[in-house]
């Protein structure tokens, strides 16, 4: 039986930027790192970089990275890692041949499709989306999707993580961690689930998104947290977000340089701090709306620059979680679905291994249960359209062709019976007739998606956490 990860196996990636041009971008970033430097607000990261040989000005917090130091630190990054599930069934190898999809995090409100209004997100939304995520076949990773506004600000991240751990056996990605203490508590929680902190170093059950601040800044709290993630071998998705024209030059190549410099800066800080710490090239770059400067995730330039990020990850030969779906339309529905449908395929072809964004509209701030189902359908279609075309005696099926001969059909062949099972069947629609659509109440796809989501949430029972582990999680959260 094929594994869960096999479902996400795709064709070998294509290259869109030639090696000599990737090197030009890399060399320009090295120049920036050596001459302009990076402002590193984390004293822990500065200290580790200083020990490794970087030039650190503690007054300005600017770190200048000699090129040879960068090259030697980059060599320490593991090329292939496995993002582990709570159960082994959900393990996800990152080996340049899979594309996984995760929900996004940090939404702050929730769409009500009936009233066409939005309201504040709560912890219950994390529970519901985790249950849904646990069920959905093309959702590989769950990320607590919203801020639990009903929880105290001190513990809302931990509460979100606990709720996720309790409601899905899939790999969990955490976002929004802004202090090292919060990171340590989450490490304790993940260790409680996998068995121990030693086990967690081997089984990467938790990964963490850490954003840089463009241009050329590493935040204090988030970078301190990144050092904690590194110490515990929790993979870090280094998520540069330089926006073309605003926080990066208004050209793809120029903004790639800024992003590459930031990504390499944090990657090197992690390797200086903890050699061999796992990490992913996790950029989510975009272009700005030239009229307002706003984040424009649905723009064609965003696709181009995200392809560029995947190219730079391939240049370094490290795991890549560049680009994401998550259109910029203010409301869910047709426009987000169009944006996501054109955002996703080029990144699958270019070789991004983890894409986030499922279910959030309005620049990843608005959760829609309906959109979550639509996006899930989009990625199911895209992944299956990017399968390798297998050519073998079995698939060429010469003997079957000869057996069926002229003018008959293949329906009653064992070969067909076996192989037709591989065909992708949409989960939200089928090929039934116009009449049956009328009889069904002429439902809009958003309504169908919403009904299906709420049915799954009501009926699906995720595998429970062991009672002692649950108690341990409660103790960690309560003690924070």
Question: By rule CB under 8 A, what count of residues binds another protein?
Answer: 28
Residue closer to another protein, measured from CB, 256 or 288:
288
Residue closer to another protein, measured from CB, 220 or 278:
220
Question: Taking CB under 8 A as the criterion, which residues in 351-410 touch another protein?
Answer: 363, 365
Residue closer to another protein, measured from CB, 103 or 176:
176
Residue 154: how many other CB atoms lie within 10 Å: 12
Is residue 356 within 8 A of residue 103, CB to CB? The reply is: yes
Binding segment toward another protein, per CB under 8 A, in 132-140, 211-219, 439-447, 460-468: 211-219
Question: Taking CB under 8 A as the criterion, which residues in 34-53 touch another protein?
Answer: 41
Choose, by CB under 8 A, the member of 74, 106, 381, 457 that binds another protein. Answer: 106
Choose, by CB under 8 A, the member of 62, 108, 400, 445 that binds another protein. Answer: 108
Select from 323, 352, 277, 349 the least CA-distant residue to 96: 352
**Could you tell me the smallest distance in angstroms from the CB atom of residue 160 to another protein?**
11
**What order do you get walking across the sheet with 279-281 strand by strand?**
279-281, 236-239, 206-211, 171-174, 141-142, 100-103, 354-358
Question: Taking CB under 8 A as the criterion, which residues in 59-88 touch another protein?
Answer: none
246 is a site residue for another protein (CB under 8 A):
yes
Is residue 180 within 8 A of residue 221, CB to CB? The reply is: yes
Dump the DSSP string for 149-186.
Answer: TTS-TTTHHHHHHHHHHHH--SEEEE----SHHHHHHH
Is residue 108 within 8 A of residue 147, CB to CB? The reply is: yes
The binding track of 267-296 with respect to another protein, each residue x by CB under 8 A or -, is: ---------------------x-xxxxxx-
Distance CA 206, CA 59 (A): 35
Binding segment toward another protein, per CB under 8 A, in 62-70, 129-137, 219-227, 387-395: 219-227
**What order do you get walking across the sheet with 295-296 strand by strand?**
243-244, 286-288, 295-296
Binding segment toward another protein, per CB under 8 A, in 103-111, 201-209, 261-269, 298-306: 103-111
**Could you tell me the smallest distance in angstroms from the CB atom of residue 214 to another protein?**
8
Distance CA 357, CA 373 (A): 12
Choose, by CB under 8 A, the member of 86, 98, 118, 237 that binds another protein. Answer: 118
Distance CA 127, CA 165 (A): 10
Which positions lie near another protein, rule CB under 8 A? 41, 106-109, 118, 147, 153, 157, 176, 178, 213, 217, 219-221, 245-247, 288, 290-295, 363, 365
């Amino acid at each position: 039986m094929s594994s869960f990860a096999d479902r996400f196996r795709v064709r070998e990636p294509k290259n869109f930027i030639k090696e000599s041009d990737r090197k030009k971008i890399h060399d320009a970033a090295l120049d920036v790192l050596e001459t302009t430097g990076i402002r590193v607000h984390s004293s822990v990261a500065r200290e580790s970089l200083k020990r490794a040989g970087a030039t650190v000005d503690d007054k300005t917090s600017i770190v200048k990275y000699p090129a040879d130091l960068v090259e030697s630190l980059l060599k320490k990054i593991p090329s292939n890692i496995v993002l582990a599930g709570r159960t082994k069934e959900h393990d996800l190898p990152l080996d340049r041949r899979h594309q996984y999809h995760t929900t996004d995090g940090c939404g702050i409100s929730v769409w009500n499709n009936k009233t066409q209004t939005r309201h504040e997100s709560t912890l219950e939304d994390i529970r519901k989306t985790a249950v849904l995520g646990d069920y959905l076949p093309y959702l590989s990773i769950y990320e607590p999707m919203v801020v639990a506004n009903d929880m105290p600000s001190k513990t809302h991240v931990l509460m979100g993580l606990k709720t996720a751990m309790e409601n899905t056996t899939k790999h969990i990605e955490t976002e929004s961690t802004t202090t090292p203490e919060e990171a340590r508590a989450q490490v304790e929680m993940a260790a409680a689930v996998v068995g121990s902190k030693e086990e967690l170093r081997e089984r990467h059950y938790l990964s963490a998104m850490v954003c840089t601040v463009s241009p050329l800044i590493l935040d204090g709290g988030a970078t301190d947290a990144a050092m904690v993630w590194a110490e515990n071998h929790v993979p870090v998705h280094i998520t540069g977000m330089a926006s073309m024209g605003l926080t990066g030059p208004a050209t793809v190549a120029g903004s790639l340089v800024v992003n590459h410099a930031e990504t390499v800066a944090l990657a090197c800080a992690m390797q200086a701090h903890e050699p061999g710490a796992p990490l992913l090239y996790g950029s989510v770059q975009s272009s700005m709306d030239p009229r307002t400067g706003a984040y424009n995730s649905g723009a064609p330039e965003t696709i181009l620059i995200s392809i560029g990020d995947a190219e730079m990850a391939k240049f370094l030969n490290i795991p890549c979680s560049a680009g994401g779906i998550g259109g910029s339309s203010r409301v869910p529905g047709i426009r987000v679905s169009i944006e996501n449908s054109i955002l996703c395929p080029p990144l699958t072809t270019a070789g991004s291994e983890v894409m986030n964004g499922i279910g959030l509209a309005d620049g990843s701030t608005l959760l829609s249960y309906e959109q979550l189902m639509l996006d899930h359908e989009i990625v199911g279609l895209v992944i299956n359209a990017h399968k390798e075309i297998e050519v073998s005696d079995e698939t060429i099926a010469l003997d079957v062709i000869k057996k069926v001969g002229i003018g008959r059909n293949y329906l009653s062949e064992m070969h067909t019976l076996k192989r037709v099972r591989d065909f992708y069947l949409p989960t939200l629609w089928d090929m039934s007739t116009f009449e049956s659509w009328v009889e069904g109440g002429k439902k809009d796809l958003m309504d169908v998606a919403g009904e299906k989501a709420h049915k799954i949430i009501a009926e699906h029972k995720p595998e429970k956490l062991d009672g002692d582990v649950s108690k341990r999680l409660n103790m960690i959260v309560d003690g924070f």
